[in-house]
Structure 1
Amino acid sequence: MSQRVVRVLIDSPLPQLDRLFDYTVPDALESQVQPGVRLRVPLRTVGRIVDAIAIEVASATTTDRPLSEIDSVVSAACVVPPPLYALARKVADRAGGSAGDILRLAVPKRQVRVEKQWMAAPEPEAASVADDAVSYAKTLIDDYPGLADGIAERGRLALTAIAHPVTTSDGDTVGAWAMLVAAMATERLSHGESTVVVVPDYRDQDAVMTALRDFVSDDAIARVDARQSGPDRYRNFLRTLAAAPVIVVGNRSAVYSPVSASLIVMWDDGDSLLEEPLAPYVHARDAALVRQELTGCALVFAGHTRTTDVERLVGLGYVQSISAARRYAPSTVLTASTDTEAPGTRIPSSAYRAVREALATGPVLVQVSRPGYAPVLVCAQCRAPAKCLHCSGPLHAKSRGAAPQCRWCGRTAHGWKCSECNSVQVRLASSGSERTADDLGRAFPGVRIVVSDGEHTVMEVGELPVLVVATRGAEPVAAGGYHAVLLLDGDRMLMSDDLRVAESCLRWWSNAAALAAPGAPVHLVGVTGLIARAFATWSQVAFAQAELTERAPLRMPPTVRVAMLEGDHESLTTALRTLREDVPALPRDAVLGPLALEANADELARALIRYDYALGHAVITSLRASVIAAAVAGRRSTRTRPQRPPRATLKLRADVADPQL
């Protein structure tokens, strides 16, 4: 007799369980078991019932081993349709991770009441788009030659957006990029097709949502946001499972939305918020490229700057470059202190005059590098960094005259003494957003000062004169645009040891300059060199090309892929030896390390593996096999010797943007 068999993916973080398991379906549950539904199944290795997802259902006449029956069907809702599992499997294989980890990012936690309401409700109807909205959308798209054809032909595009604010029909101010993204999504919706819009954070989400209101109704939009409540997030996820077309707007997890999309738009892919901090650490850009390859949808990378990752693909001809028909560049000015000014002057006289003149008519933005009052303190006598006496963490001051505090342990540094010269006095070595606001308040008496950083969230300011001091990425939108923008601490930002610090700084400055009203001055203070010229001439694409050229001889990403393998020294050495055997084409200098992370070399260690994209599949397959072998060996040793602590398993990260041992 034939019996129905279901292949399931078990919800487990163990890498050795990242495969499909076969179970039989009892007659009582046969009508309920469909691909994509949640199940409960017995797992004999642990002797308990675990969660799982049904992936495949088939009939089998014979089996070479006895199969267990599924325990129960949790819900009849198909939350993992076959295309979503195919995407999760493909992304996980590329990153050397588990498909279950990807699905945990894609599928929110189940909300029973919301799910029952959704299953009882009728299917949503396709939203209609007004003819004037479609005409307006096509007008915006036509400003970028080749964009409409590229989307219609399901191409891969890299778009450099116009950098200035615009006003919606409701009187709200958003970036011109948000209106363009809304126009592309609206044009697809008018053809009965869905769009996925991926943005870094909630500010960008709000901008896109505001722009979309000029084109479509709210029932045509599904917002996927980690800041939403559980029921709201699950309700919007279920909306993406419906057949009716929808515009999905969300952060990095939105790239896995199960909607059948004909277009994916990713804004500002260089933002670190699009890097997934959880295993398998897949960047949303890489997931979007995999999804485009699987489904054949159109893919657009848009931004005021261009990352070296996208520029590499443009250079290979894999992605087509798109720019506006009419070139627009903010009025940028490179400002430096003159000989008549005191050394170390933070705001040169020319920038000071520009701020004073702009404050007579409207708001002014001042961008600083760090939040707080004094992020860094040093010894007043020898200038050595001030360290906590308990944990050696850096000290900082929260306000004027406040006692220094440790950033690591939070202790107040009473009775602090310098370890180098025994001095008991500290000096403010840098100015944060709050100290800058204090200084500007004295320089511009009677002017309203607004601070926007991680602790002070400000979304927008009005048209009246106000001086906004904001950290990078926290700049509020000004009604009609800022009348002047002042970019401070640029030289300090460039001192970071991050491989991508230059392109990150250019992106921060460009995004801030895009908030300025057309014709408003944008002053970059104290920065020279190639990056300053690229900002002044608004040639960010050329700067990305130069960065890519410099990294190629050094074999640094993105010219090559870099994997990081971390674990106990024995397992790590074995994995690297196996890698050499499995991939003989790997260059001799491909492996950097292993380097011990602890004082004892037998404990944790780390190694970096640099490899060409053509070797990616072979390298990741070998490393993934070593990760599974180490996990199984560690579990076996714990069973045979329970009193012995389990060995540290290997941890793999397939694409490291900034390789550092």
Structure 2
Amino acid sequence: MSPESRRIARVLLDSPLPQLDRLFDYALPAELGPVEPGVRVKVPLRTAGRVVDGYVVEVDVESDAERPLSEVETVVSAVPVLPDRLYRLARRVADRAAGSASDVLRLVIPKRQVRAEKAWRADAPVVAPDAEQSAEAERVLAAYDGLDVVLDEGGRAAVEAIPQLDDGAQGWARLLAAAAARTLAAGRSTILVMPDHRDLDRLLTALEAVVPPEAVVRHDSRQANPDRYRAFLRTLEDAPCIVVGNRSAVYAPVTAGLVVVWDDGDPLLGEPLAPYVHARDAALLRQESEGSALLFAGHTRTTEVERLVARGWLRDVRAGRRVLPRVLLSTPQELERPAAQRLPSSAFLAARAAAAEGPVLVQVSRPGFSPSLVCADCRTPARCAHCGGPLGARHRGAVPVCGWCGRGASAWTCPACSSPRLRLASSGSERTAEELGRAFPGVRVIVADGSHPVERVDARPALVVATRGAEPLAEGGYRAVVLLDGPRMLQSPDLRIGEACLRWWSNAAALAAPGAPVHLVGVDGAVAKALATWNQAGYARSELENRAPLHMPPTARVALVEGTSAAVARALAALGELSLPSDAVLGPVPVEGDDDPPRVRALVRFDYGAGVRVATVLRAAVVAEAVNGRRGRARAARSALTVRLDILDPEL
């Protein structure tokens, strides 16, 4: 290095401010010694007059040593926690979502744990499945036509998981474990993204049969901070591994040979923090840039995945031999019975016969005793006098309690007819268990919901009343499955409620023993037909066809623009230069709340081909509003303008 040159570091600041979402040049003083890209540093921020954290993205030498630059104050750690592949992924994800790269990195890079870092040595051994484990993995994969080609050639596929139980493990868990084992045997890493801890635990159990335990790296929010940091450091190493975790695991900095997203329709895979990128979209961006194999697996198929299958972007992979659940439908007309009875005779008789042999699953829509109450005289929904929330009963005879603020309503009177009498409007898991306990004397009743988590039940006779998504595994499978509250579930004002119900019911039906009956109560129409014929892909295809004329997602992308009326107007005016269709913008409409100044919201629909331009314009608008607000000293609690792309349920 010549006397006229100097070392510089290009640093990404760890800051939520949108105007700081770029690389800043800092001089590297000689006393810091060698500095590697990816390390954590502290640097001064002159405009704020303070020191902030950041990551060194690049180290370079410049010849213009006279250019005024601030110096890096200190290197926090010599461990390069931000490899180039992770930075490029975060940058691409943020740009597509009109967000900040530092927000993406905050999801994957844990806080530094000094003790864990000092004990860490980057010398993990290379492990691979033994011959017996590899043979078991190949046996599982052989049931799926063409899946081995997708894994070996780095392809992309939508995989319909076989709804079966085998040796106490679900078929989907054995499938994903086998795919990870095959990839590990080829010397490459795998990322397995699960919606929640129940799926994660079941997959970890399935992995024990096909891979060495030291090859598995957990990445989930239940871990203690030191354990999570140790797991993250392991993913920085060159030795291949299998990363199993929740939605943020999709960003794990391994050199991935395979990325799998299980049940991508689960809302838990949607990131609630900025920039709000769904794990499915992050996986697509990662595969496109890194060339790994990519699988979206599930018992059902989302419209997003079906759209990619229809365009030829994903290959449709199914089992060569499909043994499907035996689904029986009970139409709404069959429910003409006394008010206290909830089961048609066919479902009741099937449940009684099955309960004599083993466990029977009864799925309900809500937990608790009675999630909602109504006036006993005029049927007006009972609401809290303080906050307007719905009143519910925790058990029979209990004082009504607000579901929002938790206040009791012992002196409630109906605002419509002044009646003080209340009536139970719906049955939760606990009330259903009480009713079925009387109808099935001598049979034990198990409640499984958020307040009563149950992971597994044995093969003894039982009635298992579970809310959707909380169904435990049964030894040998359930001898019968009864799906209640279907009409109530379908009444939700949600664009995707049909998809969601089909996913809830399919996942419950997949827990049935071979040949066991699955009764869907009180539902007919397209969703019921799709479940009965086990044609979830066909239902997703019909949903796409229905949404296309209305430009509803996922046939089009949607951006939500919210802020002050002036800020939203400026953002929409900037979008006007992109020549979007005349009906692209919906709104603005007022946002309920006590904000000062009042806020408005608009939706912008646009084609995928215009995504880069729309995201760039909206991001520039966010930055401009942030800079103008700072100059004007308008430091409000909320930003003048916020943007969110690809929201799952836009309020069209």
Given candidates 622, 625, 632, the residue that maps to 2:627 is: 632
Per the alignment, residue 134 of structure 1 pairs with: 134
The aligned residue for residue 118 of structure 2 is 116
How much has 1:646 moved relative to structure 2? 7.1
5 Å-filtered alignment, 1:215-294, equals 215-294=210-289
Q: Any residues of structure 2 matched to 1:640-655 within 5 Å, and which? A: 648-655=639-646
SS of residue matched to 1:638: coil
Q: How many Å apart are 1:343 and its aligned residue?
A: 5.8
Deviations 1:119-178 (A, max 9, x none): xx35011113111211221121121111101111111100001001111xxxxx121010
Matches within 5 A, 1:40-439: 40-62=42-64, 65-118=67-120, 121=121, 123-167=123-167, 173-336=168-331, 338=334, 341-342=337-338, 345-439=341-435
Q: 1:518 to 1:356 in 2, by over 3 A?
A: same
1:568 and 1:647 in contact (8 A); partners too: no
Once the two structures are superposed, residues 554-609 of structure 1 have per-residue CA deviations (whole angstroms, 9 ceiling, x without a partner) of: 1100000000011111111111011102x12x001100011111479951110000
The aligned counterpart of 1:507 is 503
Moved more, 265-274 or 390-399: 390-399
1:593 is aligned to 587
Q: Confirm whether residue 8 of structure 1 aligns to residue 2 of structure 2.
A: no
User: Is the Cα contact below 8 Å between 1:163 and 1:330 reproduced in 2?
Assistant: yes
Cα gap change, 1:131 to 1:71, in 2 (>3 Å): same
CA contact (8 A) 2:335 2:342 kept: no
Q: Which residue of 2 aligns with 1:170?
A: none
Letter of the structure 2 residue corresponding to residue 593 of structure 1: G
- Give how far 1:546 is off: 0.5
Query: Which letter maps to 1:88?
Result: A
Secondary structure of the corresponding residue to residue 243 of structure 2: strand
SS of corresponding position for 1:354: helix
Residue identity matched to 1:25:
L
Native 8 Å contact 1:634 1:647 kept in 2: no
Is the deviation greater in 397-406 or in 342-351?
342-351
Change (3 A) 1:638 1:466: same
Cα displacement (A) at 1:30: 2.8
- Aligned ranges 1:447-486 → 2 under 5 Å: 447-486=443-482
- CA distance, structure 2, for counterparts of residue 21 and residue 184 of structure 1: 42
Given the superposition, is the C-alpha separation of residues 647 and 127 from structure 1 closer, same or farther in structure 2, using an over 3 Å criterion? closer
Equivalent position amino acid for 1:656 in 2 = I
- Alpha-carbon distance change, 646 to 414 in structure 1, aligned in 2, over 3 angstroms: closer
User: Secondary structure of the equivalent of 1:12?
Assistant: coil
- Give the Cα separation in 2 of the matches to 1:645 and 1:242: 43
The CA distance in 1 between the partners of 2:43 and 2:117, in whole Å, is 21
Give the letter aligned to residue 572 of structure 2: L
Distance 2:122 2:157 in 1: 37
CA distance in structure 1 between the partners assigned to 2:17 and 2:368 by the alignment: 41
Matched-pair contact (CA < 8 Å) for 1:264–1:298: yes
Name the CA shift for 1:437/1:64 in 2 (closer, same or farther; >3 Å): farther
The answer on whether the counterparts of 1:635 and 1:646 sit within 8 Å (CA) in structure 2 is no
Equivalents in 2 of 1:60, 1:18: separation in Å? 23
Q: 1:534 aligns with which of 517, 530, 534?
A: 530
- Cα distance in 2 for residues equivalent to 1:335 and 1:345: 14
User: Are the equivalent residues in 2 in contact too, given 1:189–1:246 (CA < 8 A)?
Assistant: yes
SS of equivalent residue, structure 1 residue 552:
helix
Q: Which runs of 5+ in 2 are unaligned?
A: none
- What does residue 657 of structure 1 align with? 648
Pairwise CA distance, 1:410: 1.0
Q: Aligned partners of 2:354 and 2:361: how far apart in 1?
A: 10
Asked if 2 retains the 8 angstrom alpha-carbon contact of 1:637 and 1:646, the reply is: no
Cα distance in 1, alignment partners of residues 223 and 129 from structure 2 = 27
Alignment RMSD: 1.4
Report the Cα distance in structure 1 between the residues aligned to 2:443 and 2:17, rounded to whole angstroms.
58
Q: Where in structure 1 are there 5+ consecutive unaligned residues?
A: 168-172
Q: Secondary structure at the match of 2:452?
A: coil
Partner Cα separation in structure 2 for residue 412 and residue 339 of structure 1: 34
Q: Provide the C-alpha distance between the structure 2 equivalents of 1:448 and 1:110, rounded to a whole number of angstroms.
A: 49
Residue 636 of structure 1 and its aligned partner are, at CA, apart by 1.1
Q: Secondary structure at the match of 2:110?
A: coil
Work out whether residues 6 and 65 of structure 2, in 8 Å CA contact, stay in contact via their aligned partners in 1: no
Q: Aligned partners of 1:27 and 1:3: how far apart in 2?
A: 9
2:570 and 2:340 mapped to 1: Cα distance? 54
CA 1:72–1:366: 2 relative to 1, 3 Å: same
The answer (yes or no) to whether the contact 2:559–2:645 under 8 Å persists in 1 is yes
Query: What is the TM-score with the length of structure 2 in the denominator?
Result: 0.97
Structure 1 position 645, deviation (Å): 5.2
1:591-633 alpha-carbon deviations (Å, 9 max, x no partner): 0011111479951110000000000011111011000111111
How far residue 85 of structure 1 moved from its aligned partner, in angstroms, is 0.3
Q: Distance in 2 between matches of 1:622 and 1:122?
A: 42
Mapped to 1, the partners of 2:604 and 2:636 lie a distance apart of 29
Residue 553 of structure 1 aligns to a residue in which SS? helix
Identity of aligned residues (%): 57
- 2: CA distance, partners of 1:393 / 1:657: 25
TM-aligned CA distance change 1:611 to 1:236, over 3 Å? same
Moved more, 332-341 or 401-410: 332-341
Counterparts of 1:152 and 1:261, CA distance in 2: 13
AA aligned opposite 1:19: R
Distance in 1 (CA, whole Å) between partners of 2:357 and 2:91 is 56
Amino acid in the other structure paired with 1:595: V
Matches of 2:607 and 2:481 in 1, distance apart?
42
Amino acid in the other structure paired with 1:569: S
Could you tell me the TM-score, scaled by structure 1's length?
A: 0.96
Q: Does 428-437 or 630-639 show the bigger shift?
A: 630-639
SS at match of 2:632: helix
User: Per-residue deviation at 1:63?
Assistant: 5.6
Q: Distance in 2 between matches of 1:339 and 1:204?
A: 34
Q: State the distance in 2 between where 1:192 and 1:628 align.
A: 43
| Contact kept in structure 2, 1:449 and 1:468, CA below 8 Å | yes
Q: Are the structure 2 counterparts of residues 48 and 339 from structure 1 closer, same or farther at C-alpha, using a change threshold of 3 Å?
A: closer
Matches of 1:365 and 1:618, distance apart in 2 = 50
Partner amino acid, structure 2, of 1:511: N
Query: In the comparison of the two structures, how many residue pairs are matched?
Result: 647
